[in-house]
Amino acid sequence: MSGPRVCGCKGIRSCRLCMATNAQEAGPRLGGVSRDVLSCIHNASSEDELPVESFPEESQQLNTSVHPEAGPRLGWVSRDVSSCSHNASHKIDFEGIVIIEDFVSEAEEADLDRAIAGTHFVNSQSGRRKQDFGPKVNFKKQKVRTANFTGLPSYSQFLYQRMKAHPHLSDFEPVELCNLEYCQSRGAHIDPHLDDDWLWGERLVTLNLLSDSVLTFTLDSVPDIEVRVPLLRRSLIVVAAAARYSWKHSILPGDVVGRRIAMTFRELSKEFRSGGSRGQQGVELLKLALTFSGSAVSS
């Protein structure tokens, strides 16, 4: 674009606001999202059926293998699928996803929405708006500043306590919360990426509020493969292991219907934990975070 943007997009990033300003149309759209979605691209014919396992009521850990020689068809399958490999000479492991359904109630969701609305959002990339509760980080120079970090917000304390009571998260100690708002009207999305692993640890934990969506995983080495994991309304999703470190994740524009808020909590990497080279700094960050008296860090 030749002039200043009306949104938070930079470089090649774009959303409907800046694309409309530039008299362009938004990118290709996908259809609405079902609550019953975990899918992959594979070379199966439309008559093929995928193996299915039971889906526990409380949570499900997905360990999925996907076929590396994908065909052109996107196969929608149930969220309780354990494999989507067809006629494969070998498999690609996809592991590290845990979904905890109904992590908060409808009333708690409404309370969180009101509490989040009490803090100013700043424009972010690709049509998103954000609130940051965490240290200022320069990932390129590997520097962390705590001058303006006052901790996680008070309304997140009950979420932390509930996480600690769950077997998958009993040792999870969040040091950052990022609230991201996605609106369909803005064409909000996030491009395929890997989260930093210098400061942030293995588990990325996101509470999905207000609407369903889908988290799409891709692997650069096998560009024809997609794994699509449900982001169910009021559910908590944990991304770890290969899904965290090997597979890029994204939210496609067409998978945002209405308005959605993602509350993403991050833990510290081993370098910032006890015994690590920056363990003392990690102790100070965590102590600040768990005061639950924080205000959003200005952009």
CATH number of the domain where residue 124 is located: 2.60.120.590
Residues 6+ apart with CB under 8 A from 201: 266, 267, 268, 269, 270, 273
Instruction: Look at residue 214 and tell me whether its pLDDT is greater than 70.
Output: yes
**Residue 179 is assigned to a structural domain of this protein:** yes
pLDDT of residue 16: 65
**Residue 240 is assigned to a structural domain of this protein:** yes
**Residue 51 is assigned to a structural domain of this protein:** no
**Residue 112 is assigned to a structural domain of this protein:** yes
Encode pLDDT of 121-163 as tens digits.
Answer: 999 888 999 999 999 999 989 999 888 899 999 999 999 999 9
Torsional class of 277: left (φ above 0), alpha (ψ -120 to 50), beta (otherwise): alpha
Domain range spanning residue 163? 95-222+230-289
State the pTM of this model: 0.77
d(CA 201, CA 278): 13
CA atoms lying within 13 Å on the CB side of residue 135: 25
Encode pLDDT of 192-206 as tens digits.
Answer: 999 999 999 999 999
Q: How many structural domains comprise the chain?
A: 1
